[in-house]
Amino acid sequence: MKKTNNNQYGKNARKPRVGRSGARMNAANDRSQKNAGKPRPVRENKPVKASRSRQQSAAASSEHTQVIQWYPGHMTKTRRRIEKDLKLVDAVAEIIDARIPVSSRNPDIAGLTAGKPRIVLLNKCDMADPRATAKWVSYLSRENVRAIPVDCKSGRGVDRFVPALKELLSSRIERYQAKGMVNPTMRVMIVGIPNVGKSTFINRIAKKVKAVSADRPGVTRGNQWFTVAKGFEMLDTPGVLWPKFDDQTVGEHLAFTGAIKSEVMDTELLAVRLLELLRELKTPEFIERYKLSEEDLSLPGYEILSKIARNRGMLIAGGEADAERAAYTLLDEFRAAKLGRITLEEP
């Protein structure tokens, strides 16, 4: 039987080969694809980009890896709800994180929402490397995926959504009008991983706060309809992950960016892994913020974490470095882009 390539990036789309771990990125699209496991060749002079050396350093410190998994019961419920409510909507808007465009694409969503017109929103662009975002947009458009970069914090790019949606649904709207509906209501389901900005996006489109949003995963519980404008409704859904990340880098990237509940992870181990990336990236914001010397950067990740704790005056009784506090601080500051605008995955 002929095998069709109908992956999450669109029918017959070429799979992206992405930054730090080609294997992981390909796998996020299609677990069986033949390039899985092959690292992507690294180009020179790309400062804000994961490099081969980072793959090596990450591999060398594998004692710091942890199995990250978060698939609570409410996500199974959300999946069922998405399937059930799909027949009520005209289109699906999938929100992904511009800092991790592969890991933040739930591989199950393409199948779940198959057959519905779809727009992908690359959110949190304000925190991503702008050059990488531009590359992602052209990559996705080459793959016939309608992708719009947005920053729901400031609202940048959000006004491109409605015209794009109308264009996407033009024949559907014409069909409704032919049936005598002058201003047919357009219904859009908003889907994506936890904490990616789904509810914030709805509030931006509605131009007022309607949906509850907060900076932690798992805020929205249950599907909820919002009338965002006359003749335009949006269905907010809870963030949903998938049962098993077949590559732990996916889990790590989701955890670094705040899509995974902190209680299910060891924060210190996660911070050490993040430091292993950051010491290769060497963004000026990272170096200056934590006052790290070249010598500090050559230390093992855990020692860099202790150094950061000391430089920040985070000490526990006896003058020991408070690594746990430093770990929380590092992750918070990374998530708030205080360490630079960093994209961890490239097309």
- Applying CB under 6 A, among 50, 100, 188, 196 the residue interacting with ligand GTP is 196
**Rounded distance between C-alpha atoms, residue 47 and residue 247, angstroms:** 25
- Applying CB under 6 A, among 214, 229, 264, 316 the residue interacting with ligand GTP is 214
Question: Is the separation of the CB atoms in 10 and 30 below 8 Å?
Answer: no
**Rounded distance between C-alpha atoms, residue 175 and residue 120, angstroms:** 24
**Binding segment toward ligand GTP, per CB under 6 A, in 67-75, 118-126, 262-270, 291-299:** 118-126
- Applying CB under 5 A, among 103, 220, 248, 257 the residue interacting with Mg ion is 220
- Which one-letter DSSP state was computed for residue 303? H
Q: Which is nearer to Mg ion, 13 or 241 (CB)?
A: 241
- Which one-letter DSSP state was computed for residue 18? -
**Rounded distance between C-alpha atoms, residue 262 and residue 215, angstroms:** 12
Quick one: what does residue 343 bind among Mg ion, ligand GTP, none, with the CB cut-off 5 to 8 Å set by partner type? Answer: none
What one-letter code names the amino acid at 44?
Answer: E
How near is the Cβ of 31 to ligand GTP at its closest, in Å? 24
**Rounded distance between C-alpha atoms, residue 95 and residue 113, angstroms:** 13
Residue 127 contacts ligand GTP per CB under 6 A: yes
How near is the Cβ of 222 to ligand GTP at its closest, in Å? 10
How near is the Cβ of 271 to ligand GTP at its closest, in Å? 20
**Binding segment toward ligand GTP, per CB under 6 A, in 14-22, 65-73, 188-196, 277-285:** 188-196
Tokens at 194, concatenated: 């936890």
Q: Which is nearer to Mg ion, 167 or 215 (CB)?
A: 215
Q: For residue 79, which of 188, 186, 193, 187 has the smallest C-alpha distance?
A: 193
Residue 106 contacts ligand GTP per CB under 6 A: no
How near is the Cβ of 202 to Mg ion at its closest, in Å? 8
What one-letter code names the amino acid at 42?
Answer: V
**Binding segment toward ligand GTP, per CB under 6 A, in 15-23, 41-49, 54-62, 149-157:** 149-157
How near is the Cβ of 164 to ligand GTP at its closest, in Å? 17
**Binding segment toward ligand GTP, per CB under 6 A, in 85-93, 109-117, 123-131, 134-142:** 123-131
Q: Which is nearer to ligand GTP, 127 or 260 (CB)?
A: 127
Quick one: what does residue 101 bind among ligand GTP, Mg ion, none, with the CB cut-off 5 to 8 Å set by partner type? Answer: none
Q: For residue 200, which of 210, 186, 188 has the smallest C-alpha distance?
A: 210
How many CB atoms are located within 10 Å of the residue 263 CB?
A: 7
**Rounded distance between C-alpha atoms, residue 158 and residue 166, angstroms:** 14
**Rounded distance between C-alpha atoms, residue 286 and residue 279, angstroms:** 8
What one-letter code names the amino acid at 184?
Answer: P
Tokens at 38, concatenated: 């092959």
Residue 200 contacts ligand GTP per CB under 6 A: yes
Tokens at 258, concatenated: 């705040």
Residue 251 contacts ligand GTP per CB under 6 A: no
Q: Which is nearer to ligand GTP, 110 or 205 (CB)?
A: 205
How many CB atoms are located within 10 Å of the residue 239 CB?
A: 23
- Applying CB under 6 A, among 195, 223, 257, 343 the residue interacting with ligand GTP is 195
Say how many residues touch Mg ion, by CB under 5 A. 4
The pair phi, psi for residue 173, each rounded to 5°, is -65, -40
- Binding residues (CB under 6 A) for ligand GTP: these are 123-124, 126-127, 151-153, 192, 194-200, 213-215, 217-220, 238-239
